Amino acid sequence: MFSPVSVRTITKSPFLPPKLSTFATSFRPRFPNFVSMKESSFPGNSVSTKQRNFCVASTPGSGHEIHESSIQGGETFFRSVLESMESVYLSRNPTAKAILELVQSVENNKICYDHLAFRTFGVDGYGIDSIASFFLNYGYTPREELRFPAKKLKALWFAPPNDTIVGSGSGISGPLPRVFISELLVDQLSPQAQEIIRKYTKTSGDGYKYAALASSLGLLTWERPLYSEFKQLASESEYAAWTLVNGHALNHLTISTHRLKSNLRSIKNLNQFIEENGFRLNSEGGVLKVSPDGLLLQSSTVADSFSFQFSDGKTESVPCSYIEFAERLVLPQYKNLPDTQIKEFHRRDGFEVGNADKIFESTSKEQLSRVG
């Protein structure tokens, strides 16, 4: 949980909801280089096994588990922080904002989020644990770890606690989403790439302790990089380059399609609807990503881009975030239940390496430069 501190260098952010504006100005980071992305035209370790030994509570898609943990601490505060993360994300990603509004406009659909996703550097405390600690403090529980050897990544997803307002709102005000946090295995990169990443994380001091705060305020905790170093990282790991300029910002949020009330509850219908309205979907491995068991269906848009001012004065277009869509089908053992009795725990849970590997490509140069 955040320790009460106060802020010298942060002014009220235009991306904060009113209830967090006062909260934002009441924090003073203990690290000197908390860089506001507002200064550019962009407004934005694994959970360490040395510190925590997490066991896998379920197998992907078993659907037998009802998450028993309940939200800890102040729910209003917790949801306000998530709202601020969402607000920053929507202010930077016009495609995501437009699609959410479009989907909501169809038969007054209520949006539920399947999961929120973050990217991290697995070095000097800046990995999965830097973001996870905030969610763990509010009752989230770690589940499966996923590995992506070719991308030099690993990820861990977290199940939400039981919360008090399930079904009473839309978006962040609705059922609490899962959280998916990935981490770049920095030690597996070239010495040159490692040096660049460590150079910037060191300028942040203890910034990893404030990753959730940085995400909610739309800030980097390290200095803006040189364009030449960004390019060098991108040539080896597009994930690394993305994280260098986006920091702990939401990488994407995901609409739970099966919770929609219109015909868009079918992800195939939703994909068609989105494309007919002029939005590009990530085509890596096909627009629709399907798990081997056929029960987890996912798709995503191509990321937006933004103009980023580097520390050497150059301003270049770099990838931002995207929006994802997920349909979780009913598990075979519950297929005879009436639709009115189907709950989320009757559906396929967890994530799938093959799907996620292709979803990562939403921020790739290949997808961003694709025509049509």
Q: Does residue 40 have a pLDDT over 80?
A: no
Which pLDDT does position 247 carry in this prediction? Answer: 98
Of 264, 113, 257, 81, which Cα lies nearest the Cα of 177? 113
Q: In angstroms, what CA-CA distances link 112 with 15, 60, 99, 147, 185?
A: 22, 21, 14, 27, 32
With beta carbons less than 8 A apart as the criterion, state whether 353 and 155 touch: no
Higher pLDDT, 5 or 236: 236
**HSE-CB of 224 using CA atoms within 13 angstroms:** 20
Average pLDDT over residues 4-22: 36
Q: Does residue 17 have a pLDDT over 90?
A: no
Which pLDDT does position 29 carry in this prediction? Answer: 36
Structure tokens at 120: 């991290």
Give the domain ranges of the chain. 34-51+66-368
The DSSP code for 10 is: P
Least confident span in 94-108, 165-179, 196-210: 165-179
Collapse the DSSP code of 158 into the 3-class scheme (helix H, G, I; strand E, B; otherwise coil) and give the result: strand
Average pLDDT over residues 341-353: 96
Q: Does residue 177 have a pLDDT over 70?
A: yes
Least confident span in 57-61, 155-159, 305-309, 367-371: 57-61
Collapse the DSSP code of 161 into the 3-class scheme (helix H, G, I; strand E, B; otherwise coil) and give the result: coil
Higher pLDDT, 142 or 32: 142
Average pLDDT over residues 126-150: 97
- Separation of alpha carbons 72 and 162, rounded Å: 10
Q: Does residue 303 have a pLDDT over 70?
A: yes
Which pLDDT does position 70 carry in this prediction? Answer: 67
Q: Domain 34-51+66-368, CATH 3.10.180.50 — does that match? A: yes
Which pLDDT does position 166 carry in this prediction? Answer: 53
Neighbours of 186 (CB within 10 A): 23
Of 12, 13, 174, which Cα lies nearest the Cα of 91? 13
pLDDT tens profile 241-295 = 999 999 999 999 999 999 998 999 999 999 999 999 999 999 999 999 999 999 9
- Separation of alpha carbons 34 and 15, rounded Å: 17
Quote the percentage of the chain above a pLDDT of 90: 75
Which pLDDT does position 370 carry in this prediction? Answer: 81
Q: Does residue 28 have a pLDDT over 70?
A: no
Which pLDDT does position 68 carry in this prediction? Answer: 53
Q: How far apart are the first and last CA of the chain?
A: 45
Which pLDDT does position 162 carry in this prediction? Answer: 79
Give me the long-range contacts of 210-213 (CB less than 8 A, separation at least 24): 210/2, 210/29, 210/31, 210/34, 211/120, 211/126, 211/130, 211/131, 211/134, 211/248, 212/2, 212/81, 212/85, 212/131, 212/133, 212/134, 212/248, 213/2, 213/27, 213/29
Quote the percentage of the chain above a pLDDT of 70: 78
Higher pLDDT, 3 or 111: 111
Helix residue ranges, H only, the chain:
18-25, 75-92, 94-105, 128-136, 191-203, 211-217, 227-236, 238-246, 267-276, 353-359, 365-368
- Separation of alpha carbons 247 and 241, rounded Å: 10
Which pLDDT does position 169 carry in this prediction? Answer: 79
With beta carbons less than 8 A apart as the criterion, state whether 6 and 26 touch: yes
Collapse the DSSP code of 118 into the 3-class scheme (helix H, G, I; strand E, B; otherwise coil) and give the result: strand
Mean per-residue pLDDT over the chain, rounded:
84
Average pLDDT over residues 172-199: 97
Interstrand relation of 178-184 and 113-121 (parallel, antiparallel or unpaired):
parallel
pLDDT tens profile 313-337 = 999 999 999 999 999 999 999 999 9
β-pair partners for 50: none
pLDDT tens profile 43-93 = 333 343 333 333 333 334 444 444 456 676 688 899 999 999 999 999 999
pTM: 0.83
Average pLDDT over residues 235-244: 98
Reported confidence tier of residue 342, pLDDT bands at 50, 70, 90 = very high
The DSSP code for 340 is: G
Q: Does residue 11 have a pLDDT over 70?
A: no
